[in-house]
Structure 1
């Protein structure tokens, strides 16, 4: 593959364009120096995004590295620039990132949207996302960014409908688009010069010519996208798995080495008993333990980063204390026969805390099924992180890695909590009870371990479950991936949008910013672990089974994100399915494997087709977890791995009844 020429060294990120005479042979000429702005999409310096234009050859797993100059990145209204130092640690772009480009006054009629995904492979499709190595078209859809206040600020956003492969090159082609007046969209002068083989004196055009001639136009032509028809085309390389996930895998292995099979040291902070003779009591004992675990961040506070040694990997930076909540149901306390239960680790919602595990419905499920609920705050995405998250997004996005990297510290704490619960706590006196024959028994069965997370617990849980060596099955409630897809469609993000708009008056910069940050977010959320869950699992942890339970019209986490998860995990819908989902097979209940189950609430408005949130006044986000059929399905799945169906026909209900 020929690289865009960058002057005398492959690591040069100069932003000075050097006009040079071109040669009749497109593979010679130069040397050229690429500027900060790719002229083939001149609307913003960074477009089209992501692009090989902003990469350089390097000794990495992919053979490339990201090489953004500061000048290419958005600047806020306080003239604060983004330092690309953390972006440029990557050897490629996210496998589930958004792809961005811009045409003024464009009409997307006749393009592939998320409602007609099957048309991505049609001969007449107007866009293509091409795996260069295999020549296969990748399922995707495009849409205008309707979160923008005016048509002039609406980028065209392309979303992969399935995760891209790690460390591979992809080519994007666009053709046949028209303006709202019905005229063909005009290619930029720079792209037209490349397409039509017209020489220019622009080094940023000529420096790409050989690459387009050898690696871009031929790949598109082989896929049926004739060079003469193209309005825009570009390519990029995805991040290697090693580069994306390596730090987190190191953290997992190191914390396991530090705490051992029994888990970390701990002390019991409190024990609270309830009267199980009361028919309304479900949880008979609540224990709060404080465990001591390794600290891997620079400080133990919001806004901090992981430590980085000379090799770029983290290192232990002392210790920290973490509270763990353990809830023992009445059905496991002082039973006639010794009875030990499954440990169900719970992941809480957006910027919340472990107290969410004290919800009444969860207590009833625990009591009915003899489960011990274990929960801790998700460091990085708990309530005390709120101010830090806001500050990073608005004031200085350079520090954005603090959000996923502090969450990665949180992953180590979840790993430690599970090891503690199924290790040292098995013999903890406060978790020992008396059977009818006066023998004692532990409430905990250390061999039975599962994960259940809702909302943020379903998003981050998709990473934690793939990462954990101790859990083989998990349920992700109203979750999804990636964040770049979820945030614009989430009512929870409206307040953050309002803040961002005050810092970035051109809304296109906001969408660019969210897309850029996905590259850094991957190891801290489900998107980065899409392949690791069960398609290409880490041999150290094995493949996982996942049950996805979601609500159509969710105003906080769009079901489109769960559809991407389902395709990534090889999940099936359960007959009778609520609606067909592209790329997801319908199976008769009673199967093993991963599954997607959607609930439709017939008393709420239809979900928007565009990338805006549904009306939160009718939000069914809380409903699936409270459905008896969902709870029964969840029980069977966690206990046996079998996916059963307890809905009477397709899973439907009334929001006003289930979660008013």
Structure 2
């Protein structure tokens, strides 16, 4: 009951000190706790916390499995009781804790004798999180102008690709992009100056795949261009060349894709190294940032110097793709990457995000895709203690924040002259075992989104909209195929499970997605209820 957490008699309180209000959250015991170890109590905020803001956390009223009231630590008891100790690390905190206690008593109405745990923290500023990647983006765009060029592979043009009559042409090649990574392959770090801003290393070739559907060829007008974001540990080529080509055929749009380095097929070894040594997640985070800049450069390049490639023309030199109209859609990981691309790119401002969510640290323990790394992470060369694993996952979030949905969904209204406004539709699937519904709902709350009235669930904190031309801005909708639900606890569900991929084939879902992309508003195509009997 998230709303209950805002009441000041709730056992756990997260308090925004700067604005004096409670923060919506829920608490859950770690279902992954190991025998012989303490059990972590997770506090999960319903939405992202404010940046550069001070918070105080109070815990009270908790009992152990025997019904005994949990006691504060000896150090906290001394601070609460005003008992002077000979412990320097306790006494150095006394002044600060006196302030925490005063805030708890005066603003939250907490009796200090009931406090079992008490601490404070200060969140990072947006400048510290996004300054470096915005600097890299600005430098890259200044270097390329309208683009540095594209090269089609010698065997990169395939007419009637796959022979199914759905694709007029597949084009594979590379575009030239400024690179800030020291090396081309993982593991590698960004070159940085003394201010931690990335420094240009060299230009490199980055792969792209362009799908021109048969419907685009048959159309009398050039089609818009939709950038497609691939799934976890995949590639742009692999995903845009698969079954989702059907979207391009149905909605008469060309599809363009590249790789999201950091979470692409080339990153398995780098991720494994990070699991064994958390330092290497810095390398992975840096590759993620380079990947986002690559996509920004790709879009600018195809709007500019590569907007009239011969391979994008039909009979008689007729241009098939109008790259002045660019949209974004992404599935799974591609849904996660969508907000950062929309925020970073000045050339695309609307996206349809499929089964994506916010905050990797909120997703990992509930995501069956990460099961392939569990054995390594739990081994003696990884982090055999669940206490350590939980802490590592939480800490690594700070490395991912520069590209994470949790950061960028809060900026959909823009950020000064550095991030332009953008808008999104989120399409979720009930029972999803790869991107949890709680993660999708978090992204929607971050973005101050509305939820379609026909959505199969109406998550906490989202105003309801009926759909139609007035339903603009950020919108969410959940589809329910009648599949078994994901575990409520921070555990993996049982695969195979269809919910994650099923929704891509639902006519109402992709109609709403592409109508939103092209028109800017959501029409309810569920006839009042997005509940299906697909199971």
Match of 1:274 in 2: 160
- Report deviation, 1:289: 2.4
Contact 2:8 2:108 in 1 (8 A): no
Q: Highest Rg: 1 or 2?
A: 1
Q: Distance between the aligned counterparts of 1:413 and 1:149, measured in 2?
A: 42
Q: Distance between the aligned counterparts of 2:255 and 2:36, measured in 1?
A: 49
Quick one: which of 271, 282, 289 aligns to 1:401? 282
Partner deviation per Cα, 1:201-251 (whole Å, 9 max, x = no partner): 111111111111124432453112222211111000000101011111011
Contact 2:365 2:491 in 1 (8 A): yes
Match of 1:522 in 2: 401
Is 1:594–2:480 an aligned residue pair?
no
Q: Distance between the aligned counterparts of 2:180 and 2:18, measured in 1?
A: 38
Listed as ranges, the matches of 1:248-397 within 5 Å are 248-260=133-145, 262-269=146-153, 270-274=156-160, 280-333=164-217, 335=219, 337=220, 339-394=221-276, 396-397=277-278
Contact 1:553 1:620 in 2 (8 A): yes
Q: Distance between the aligned counterparts of 2:223 and 2:75, measured in 1?
A: 66
Q: Distance between the aligned counterparts of 2:459 and 2:408, measured in 1?
A: 22
Listed as ranges, the matches of 1:467-478 within 5 Å are 467-478=344-355
Partner deviation per Cα, 1:57-98 (whole Å, 9 max, x = no partner): xxxxxxxxxxxxxxxxxxxxxxxxxxxxxxxxxxxxxxxxxx
TM-score by length of 2: 0.95
Quick one: which of 161, 179, 182 aligns to 2:64? 179
Q: Distance between the aligned counterparts of 1:207 and 1:521, measured in 2?
A: 32
Match of 2:372 in 1: 495
Match of 1:163 in 2: 48
Contact 1:287 1:327 in 2 (8 A): yes
Is 1:136–2:21 an aligned residue pair?
yes
Quick one: which of 307, 311, 331 aligns to 1:426? 307
| Corresponding residue SS for 1:243 | helix
| Corresponding residue SS for 2:511 | helix
Match of 1:627 in 2: 506
The total of aligned residue pairs comes to: 529
Quick one: which of 494, 503, 527 aligns to 1:615? 494
Structure 1's 592 and 515: CA in aligned 2 closer, same or farther, altered over 3 A?
same
Contact 1:131 1:170 in 2 (8 A): yes
| Corresponding residue SS for 2:499 | coil
| Corresponding residue SS for 1:450 | strand
Q: Distance between the aligned counterparts of 2:104 and 2:449, measured in 1?
A: 32
Q: Distance between the aligned counterparts of 1:487 and 1:275, measured in 2?
A: 36
Q: Which has the higher helix share?
A: 2
Is 1:240–2:125 an aligned residue pair?
yes
- Report deviation, 1:189: 0.8
- Report deviation, 1:287: 1.0
Q: Distance between the aligned counterparts of 1:592 and 1:568, measured in 2?
A: 16
TM-score by length of 1: 0.78
- Report deviation, 1:149: 3.2
Q: Distance between the aligned counterparts of 2:475 and 2:402, measured in 1?
A: 23
Contact 1:357 1:373 in 2 (8 A): no
Match of 1:69 in 2: none
Q: Distance between the aligned counterparts of 1:174 and 1:423, measured in 2?
A: 56
Structure 1: stretches of 5+ with no match in the other structure: 1-115
- Return 590-599 or 419-428, whichever deviates more: 419-428
Q: Distance between the aligned counterparts of 2:416 and 2:33, measured in 1?
A: 40
- Report deviation, 1:509: 0.5
Match of 2:76 in 1: 191
